[in-house]
Amino acid sequence: MLKRHYLLLAPVVLMVLVPIIAVFSAWTEVDTSLWRHFLQTRLPELLWNTILLMVLVGAGVVLVGVGLAWLICRYDFVGRRWLEWALILPMAVPAYVMAFVYLGVFDYSGPLQSLLRDAGLEWLTVNDIRNPVTVALVMTSVLYPYVYLLARNAFLNQSASMIEAAQSLGASPRRVVWTVQLGMARPAIVAGLALALMETLADFGTVAIFNYDTFTVAIYKAWFDYFDLQLACQLASLLLTLVFVALLLEGASRGRKTYAGQGRQPQRKSLTGLPAIAVLVLIGSVLLLSFVLPSVQLVIWALNDVSAQWNSRFYDLVWHTLVLAVGAAILTASVALGLALMQRFQTSRWVSRGIAVAKLGYALPGTVLAVGIVVPLGWFEKSTLGLKQSLSLGPDHWILGSVFALLMAYMIRFLTVGFGPLETSFSRISQSLPEAARSLGASRLRVFRQVYLPLVRPGLALAILLVFVDVMKEMPATLLMRPFGWDTLAVRIYELTSEGEYQLAALPALCLLVVGLIPIALTLQQQRHQTRV
């Protein structure tokens, strides 16, 4: 039975490991003159830009996410219940969409600064907002919900008895907050921070729109501007090293610490008057800048040009996006279902380790994954070229630049996204149910169809939906690996924003935003049933 399980696990693990091995194997041949020049000119800037962006975004998401979670969980004020869930809406906005909206609105030639100049307030204008602080603000506005959600859950699960015990020992209110409440929430905060930093390292669209060179932009330029795939692989290996270092630091920071909250929750303090107004203004400002402003601006731009944009090319963009998203969602969810079943039936250490490796794909930035897949596939096609020609089996490039290669990249990248809901669904199934079915003579296949499948169907549907939405919004891997003529909504946004056509990019961006709201709406509905606070 265990060997049969390896038939699924081994190929999935191999598909994740091969791109990693491929990018690091590029160092077997090094152009010393090129790298000497690169070390003296470009590499220090790339390292500085990437690390600076991580520091700024990390500080921003912790400050905003933890601060908002603290206000929501420790105070009661008018509109708190609605704002508690409204604060996760920015997750529906792709970072690259937020980037071009901010440029269109706040740039020197944008409406805001033009209005300030007309009002004689030129001292408030800024000549160029394309700087690290603005990039970090844009990314913070869409990534803070990672920290907010996990910190909120941590604060809600804390026990009032632990806080009261610290107070009875003479701890000041400030010390109780820093050492007890924030201390118990630290593992959750670090986990949310790690997710935000992974997204920051993997981002391509936002930094490209702002002309802010990081490793992802450098990989793209090395491949498509300089046609040097080996240099792109070497740069990808450096970025991947940063990713692994970040993962190790996150694991070391959290360690094995867990803080379980038992008993009643701390009572919220009621806010009225000026304190309540100040909190509402603060939370409202975050929502205004991170969701309301980009949504409204996209609608205005889209309505102005909807007749020009709504044509056969737009239909093709939507069709290509849907085909890729549906195909990737079904493929990824199917593989994730197989892995979840394997985890349920097999307690082998090797199975657990294999699944852990298979889930590493989510840590691979899209640019790294693209070059890591293209290199081995190119080698495979080159190796089989003679055989194909002798047998007249079709075109020379039958995998590279195909939908199959792109779907494989999606599956590797988003397998963890699909695996999570299924793992949770299986963990809620009592072992007595399948055992009872087996005792009545039901075969394994029948137990799966009539016991497991109905119970995990909601988790399977959520897995398909989450992967579907993520694939629709995915830009770097699609941009680098798409078949000829297979532009998607995300690719079209990149092309238009590269030319400064922000208004024309509004309609495809609005489509992605609306689709991104679907899983958030489902999450809100589920949380409202599970949590009554």
List, for residues 431-465, the tens digit of each pLDDT value: 777 767 767 677 777 777 777 778 888 888 888 98
More confident residue, 383 or 76: 76
Q: Do domains 1-29+302-382+395-532 and 31-290 have the same CATH topology?
A: yes
Q: Which long-range contacts (CB under 8 A, 24 or more apart) does 231-234 make?
A: 231/31, 231/34, 232/371, 233/22, 233/23, 233/25, 233/26, 233/371, 233/372, 233/375, 234/23, 234/26, 234/27, 234/30
Please state the pTM of the whole predicted model.
0.85
Fold of 1-29+302-382+395-532: MetI-like fold (1.10.3720)
Q: How far apart are CA 60 and CA 68, in angstroms?
A: 12
**pLDDT tens digits, one per residue of 8-39:** 788 888 999 999 998 999 888 888 888 888 88
Contact 400, 378 (CB under 8 A): yes
AA letter at 366: G
Q: How far apart are CA 300 and CA 304, in angstroms?
A: 6
Give the pLDDT confidence score for residue 143 in this predicted structure: 94
* Mean pLDDT over the full length of the chain: 83
- Terminal CA-to-CA distance of the chain, rounded, Å? 46
Q: How far apart are CA 306 and CA 136, in angstroms?
A: 31
More confident residue, 184 or 327: 327
**pLDDT tens digits, one per residue of 348-365:** 788 888 888 888 888 888
Give the pLDDT confidence score for residue 533 in this predicted structure: 47
Residue 171 has pLDDT above 70, yes or no: no
Pick the closest to residue 497 from 93, 126, 221, 206 (CA basis): 206
In a 13 Å sphere around the CA of 504, the CA atoms on its Cβ side amount to 15
Cα 2–409–30 angle (5° rounding)? 105
Residue ranges with strand state E in 213-323: 269-270
Give Rg (Cα) of the chain: 25
| Site of tokens 């020609």 | 389
Residue 262 has pLDDT above 90, yes or no: no
- The correct CATH number of 31-290 out of 3.40.50.150, 3.40.50.300, 1.10.3720.10, 2.40.50.140 is 1.10.3720.10
Q: How far, in Å, are 1, 2, 345 from residue 427 at the CA level?
A: 21, 21, 12
AA letter at 113: Q
Q: How far, in Å, are 60, 68, 424, 481 from residue 491 at the CA level?
A: 28, 34, 33, 11
Q: How far apart are CA 510 and CA 506, in angstroms?
A: 6
In a 13 Å sphere around the CA of 458, the CA atoms on its Cβ side amount to 9
More confident residue, 398 or 196: 196
In the chain, where the domains are located: 1-29+302-382+395-532, 31-290
Pick the closest to residue 233 from 243, 222, 217 (CA basis): 222
